[in-house]
Amino acid sequence: MPELPEVETVCQALRPVLEGQSFLSIQLNRSNLRYPFPSNLEKELASHPIISVRRRAKYLLIDFKNNLTLIWHLGMSGRVIIENVNALFLKPSPHDHVVFITSHHYKITYRDPRRFGFLLLSPTQELEDLRPFNTLGPEPLDNSKINASSFHNRIKSRSTSLKSTLLDQAVIAGIGNIYASEALWQAWLSPLRPANTLILNEAGILLREIQNVLNCAIAAGGSTLRDHFRPNGDRGYFQHQFKVYNQENKLCSHCNFFPILKLIQNGRSTYYCNHCQK
């Protein structure tokens, strides 16, 4: 599933294409994905100027001047393709479920083979009252919303493991399985350690490494695991920088002696060095 860096990559690609423009048409090639499409999607959005394209956790949010927001989740395998209508199009796919044509002649295609993604509409001013937005924790890359002290306060009463705590979107938003493992390794912290055992200094180190991992992944265009491509068709390359994720039995590059181990936590794979991460 695309995590925060993959969604941010899509957001950064869409922002200069969509902001200040509008949709001339919205073509729906099926009636639903994970949920039914809003029945009035084209009527409500076509010809209305787009004022911002932003991300919240793992969600794309497109705000329109008529005070509506398009909520876009990429699901397990969703891909956004941006093409100029005057250029040669990529070969269409049977999984091209939504096609947007913009006022300045761009074609935005939403391709989703597994159909776990969705598009929903909400009045912009009501968005933060909707689930899951009303339960989301702070953005890990927004220093105005989170710092070492506030992060420590959010985890110090939690007896769950650090890995499980980082995946809890109510604690901190947007972190998924891959980047939780990478950040914990970089912070020299065991994914098995109860979150409430961290002191303030350790929480600050962990937050710093979360931010480092996410920023590096965004700069690399995300990670290509299974289906993720960037909107221009390129693959993300952060998977070539993985230190622990999917590196089972390889030597830990902290100690260069002990192998990376794999275990299952709450049904998800965790990778770590049992010697270095305490």
Pairing between β-strand 68-73 and β-strand 50-56 as defined by DSSP bridges: unpaired
CATH ID of 4-135, from 3.90.1150.10, 3.20.190.10, 3.30.420.40, 3.40.50.80: 3.20.190.10
Domain 148-272 architecture: Orthogonal Bundle (1.10)
Check residue 222 and give its pLDDT.
63
Check residue 236 and give its pLDDT.
42
Check residue 92 and give its pLDDT.
85
Q: Cβ(188)–Cβ(254) under 8 Å?
A: yes
Check residue 237 and give its pLDDT.
42
Pairing between β-strand 59-64 and β-strand 68-73 as defined by DSSP bridges: antiparallel
Residue ranges in the chain modelled with pLDDT below 70? 1, 88-89, 222-241
The span from the CA of 52 to the CA of 23, in Å, is: 13
Check residue 213 and give its pLDDT.
94
Angle at 221 between CA 76 and CA 34, to 5 degrees: 15
Check residue 240 and give its pLDDT.
47
Sheet arrangement for strand 59-64: 50-56, 59-64, 68-73, 118-123
Helix (H/G/I), strand (E/B), else coil: 13:
helix
Q: What is the pLDDT of residues 56-72, one digit of tens each?
A: 999 999 999 999 999 99
User: How many of the other CB atoms lie within 10 Å of CB of 133?
Assistant: 17
Sheet arrangement for strand 79-84: 23-28, 96-102, 106-111, 79-84
Q: b vs e for 138-176, b when ≥16 Cβ sit within 10 Å of the residue's Cβ? A: bbbbeeeebebeebbebbeebebbbbbbbbbbebbbbbb
User: How many of the other CB atoms lie within 10 Å of CB of 71?
Assistant: 18
Q: Cβ(95)–Cβ(111) under 8 Å?
A: yes
> What are the boundaries of each domain within the chain?
4-135, 148-272
Q: Cβ(47)–Cβ(97) under 8 Å?
A: no
Q: Which positions are annotated as active-site residues?
A: 2-3, 58, 268
Check residue 86 and give its pLDDT.
79
- pTM value > 0.85: yes
